[in-house]
Amino acid sequence: MGSKAFTVFITLSQYVGTYIATPLNVFLIYMIWTKSPKKIGNYRYLMIYVSLFELFFAFLAYITGALIYSCTTRVIVIVKSSESVFSRNVWILLDCLMCAVYLSSMTVFSIHFLYRYSYLYPSGRKLFEGWRIAFWMLLPIAVSVASSTLYYNVFAPTAEFTEFIRKALSDDLDINVDDFVYVGPYYFPEDKNGIHDMDWNAFCAMTAVWVLVGLSAITLFVCGYGCYSKISSGLEVSRNSQQTKAIQQQLFYALVMQSAIPCLLMYIPTTIVHFCTFIRQNIGSASSFISYSVALYPAVDPFPTLIIVKNYRRATKEMLARCFNFGWCTRKKEAQENIIRMQTVGSPIVSPPCR
């Protein structure tokens, strides 16, 4: 793919992702705030938080136009810095922030599952009552700040690696590396004698990242399985009403679908790419698929909640029906007025009013 075609395709992906994600997430926030069941409790704030997070993610993906590229033993996230009012250092910071927000998104979903699991047990609900829910909302932000700092100090561009990837980027993507900035782990740098030794700073930093990812994944799967087991048994030991049980079931299945989308589109492919670089398997430009899925993820993710949760689905149908009926009635009235004006003799035939 040439640089021009690459730029156009990335830009198109960012436009589509942002211009669909923005109104869709705003609409979902409106639905959560106005149409949520009363028994949903503090969970509505957590759902709104996720929608705001995805809006920020879409905006950041749009302004950076980040591309994930695998080159020998390094996975880099490339951002174009030329022809911009910002300096290269600013773009490096934005690149680091993009990576950090991408990482913390998994923390957001694990907190989601932890809430759903704890809500099934009266004693566990205290974890998210009152000010405690603010703590959980601040946790992904803290992860983003810490991860950004880590990426900036350990994975920033170096002159040696810039020269090393210059030819690869030119051959694979027709990109001039001087027009871009990048961040990413470089596990086996080459010294002046051509010997590849492990960079232990990069290894330790990525170990910390993968520990965080592992903890988030364990929380997600353990709480997810616990929720499924509890809901499948019909919440027999719960004192909740049938209506509450139905709401919990809808919210859980919506959360499963909402979490499956980023897992399939982003986390699993990214894990494969990182593993390939660690074992020194170069997959080159094939890794750029993740860049497009990252751009489209915020636009796709709200659909499960809007479709599965009955209150939101019914309200959406009613709004769409009113919009279509209004347009149909307007066109019908205009047609009736035209017929009346064209009639020159006899009594006009007037159709019943549109209700």
- Give the rounded distance of the alpha carbon of 242 from its chain centre: 33
pLDDT at 355 over 50: no
pLDDT at 339 over 70: no
What residue type is 236 in one-letter code?
Answer: E
State phi, psi for 77 to the nearest 5 degrees: -110, 115
Structure tokens at 294: 């990252």
pLDDT band, residue 56 (cuts 50/70/90): very high
pLDDT at 292 over 80: no
Report CA-CA distances (Å) from 39 to 29, 108, 116, 119, 230.
17, 22, 13, 11, 18
Q: What does the pLDDT read at residue 230?
A: 75
Q: Which of 69-83, 96-110, 175-189 has the highest mean pLDDT?
A: 96-110
3-state secondary structure of 75: strand
Q: Whole-prediction pTM value?
A: 0.78
What CA–CA distance (Å, rounded) separates 342 from 345? Answer: 9
Contact of 92 with 181, CB cutoff 8 Å:
yes
What CA–CA distance (Å, rounded) separates 58 from 226? Answer: 31
pLDDT at 284 over 70: no
What CA–CA distance (Å, rounded) separates 196 from 201? Answer: 15
Please name which of 68, 73, 71 lies closest in space to residue 278, comparing C-alpha atoms. 73
Block residue for tokens 């009013």:
353
Q: Which range has the worst mean pLDDT, 35-44, 66-75, 301-310?
A: 66-75
Q: What does the pLDDT read at residue 349?
A: 47
Q: What is the mean pLDDT of residues 173-182?
A: 83
The 3-class secondary structure across 221-238, one letter per residue, is: HHHHHHHHHHHHCCCCCC
Structure tokens at 6: 């690459």
Give residue-wise pLDDT tens across range 240-267. Answer: 556 666 776 777 777 777 777 777 777 7
Block residue for tokens 């989601």:
112
Report CA-CA distances (Å) from 166 to 8, 10, 159, 196, 256.
21, 20, 11, 18, 42
Class of residue 193 by CB neighbours under 10 A (exposed 0-12, middle 13-18, buried 19+): exposed
What percent of the chain shows pLDDT beyond 90?
11
Q: Whole-number mean pLDDT of the chain?
A: 78
Segments making up each domain of the chain, as ranges: 3-321
pLDDT band, residue 139 (cuts 50/70/90): very high
What CA–CA distance (Å, rounded) separates 16 from 23? Answer: 12
Give residue-wise pLDDT tens across range 115-136. Answer: 888 887 877 788 888 888 889 9
Please name which of 281, 290, 240 lies closest in space to residue 262, comparing C-alpha atoms. 290
pLDDT band, residue 293 (cuts 50/70/90): confident
Q: What does the pLDDT read at residue 191?
A: 63
Of the candidate CATH numbers 1.20.1070.10, 3.90.1150.10, 1.10.540.10, 1.10.10.10, the domain formed by 3-321 belongs to 1.20.1070.10
Give the HSE-up count for residue 130: Cα atoms under 13 Å, Cβ half-sphere: 2
